[in-house]
Amino acid sequence: MPAKDIYHHTVRTVLEKEGWVITDDPLKLKWGLRELFVDLGASKLLAAQKGELKIAVEIKSFVKISPVTDLEAALGQYILYRNILEETEPLRQLYLGIRQATYREIFSEAIGNLVVQKNSLKLLVFDAEKEVIVQWIN
């Protein structure tokens, strides 16, 4: 099993504060002979629609020297996980969990906007200090 991101506990906490039930920590994906692990799987009951919303969150800290290198790695992992989820759990939405500072530093720039738009990237932006979700970007 892979090591947990430094913000793993924080994201788990912010999701639970917002009423999400953590169903998988980590969420195991299997495709062919390979097993991969998304950091968190969660669900939330939707009273008005009498249904359940399911998400998976891959958490990335973006702490390397180059934020572009972190972006390249995160994007590749996100696309791979999303492709598998589309085949195995098409109703589960995948989000990339990033700090608010990371959003400001790279995702609000032209390169970040391009990546989000061209790859239909879904982001869960959180404030690590206050332990709150700042924004959901679909």
Assign residue 78 the CATH number of its domain. 3.40.1350.10
* Exposure class string for 67-100: b at 16+ Cβ within 10 A, else e: beebbeebbeebeebbebbeeeeeebbbbbbbbb
Print the domain residue range for 130.
8-137
Q: Does the residue 1 lie in any domain?
A: no
Q: Does the residue 112 lie in any domain?
A: yes
pLDDT digits (tens, 9 = 90+) for 46-103: 766 667 899 999 999 999 889 999 999 999 999 999 999 999 999 999 999 999 999 9
Q: Does the residue 24 lie in any domain?
A: yes
Q: Does the residue 69 lie in any domain?
A: yes
**E strand or H helix at 116:** helix 110-118
Q: Does the residue 129 lie in any domain?
A: yes
Could you tell me what percent of the chain has a pLDDT over 90? 89
Q: How many domains does the chain have?
A: 1
Residue 2 has pLDDT above 80, yes or no: no
In the structure encoding, which two tokens stand for residue 80, read together?
Answer: 């791979």
Q: Does the residue 117 lie in any domain?
A: yes
Contact 58, 25 (CB under 8 A): no
Contact 121, 97 (CB under 8 A): no
pTM of the model: 0.94
In the structure encoding, which two tokens stand for residue 124, read together?
Answer: 């869960």
In the structure encoding, which two tokens stand for residue 38, read together?
Answer: 């998304």
